[in-house]
């Protein structure tokens, strides 16, 4: 059986996953920068940014910060720990500015009105197709600590999305 990721890679025209993620980023990032500017205030101001293709399950190139947007909820706990361990190897210690910035869903952090509950249920059904998991803070914490991280901060952002800062 072909996975959704294999299909997206093989047939970008019929399954424009990259376009959908680019649209989501164009919508979300102005909100992130406006409402949660402290997450990026210490980022370098020069234009020395490199984009490097790779495989998060193999290794991640050295960086001060690793940014993961809508990534971890697609994977089970063991795979998330593996990804985060690779991230941890790529960044310097916290006192040298190392951190991981995650934008993902934190269940239970949003208001519990009926629209959010319905959205959560529909999203949970979708995640079953990917073998992914939506997690509450305690489930995230378990993964973070198992991957060797010492501290984290969760900032609710927009609807079901939160920014998670993760520190070695």
> What positions carry a catalytic annotation?
73
Written as six digits, the tokens of 51 are 């984009």
**Hey, which residues does 156 pair with through a beta bridge?**
162
156 neighbors 137 (Cβ within 8 angstroms):
no
Dihedral of the alpha carbons of 109, 79, 143, 38, in degrees to the nearest 10: -60
Rounded to whole angstroms, the Cα distance separating 119 from 110 reads 11
Rounded to whole angstroms, the Cα distance separating 153 from 151 reads 7
36 neighbors 155 (Cβ within 8 angstroms):
yes
105 neighbors 162 (Cβ within 8 angstroms):
yes
Rounded to whole angstroms, the Cα distance separating 6 from 73 reads 17
The number of helices, as runs of H, and strands, as runs of E, in the chain is: 5, 5
């Amino acid at each position: 059986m072909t996975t959704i990721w294999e299909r997206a890679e093989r047939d970008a025209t019929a399954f424009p996953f990259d376009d959908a993620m680019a649209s989501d980023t164009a919508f979300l990032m102005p909100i992130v920068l406006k409402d949660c500017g402290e997450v990026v205030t210490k980022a370098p101001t020069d234009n020395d940014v490199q984009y490097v293709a790779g495989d998060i399950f193999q290794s991640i190139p050295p960086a001060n910060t690793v940014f993961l947007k809508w990534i971890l909820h697609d994977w089970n706990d063991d795979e998330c720990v593996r990804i985060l361990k690779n991230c941890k190897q790529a960044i310097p210690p916290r006192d040298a500015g190392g951190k991981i910035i995650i934008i993902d869903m934190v269940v239970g952090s949003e208001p519990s009105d009926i629209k959010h509950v319905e959205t959560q249920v529909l999203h949970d059904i979708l995640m079953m197709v990917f073998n992914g998991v939506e997690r509450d803070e305690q489930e995230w914490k378990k993964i973070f600590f198992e991957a060797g991280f010492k501290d984290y901060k969760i900032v609710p952002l927009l609807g079901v999305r939160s920014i998670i800062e993760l520190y070695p």
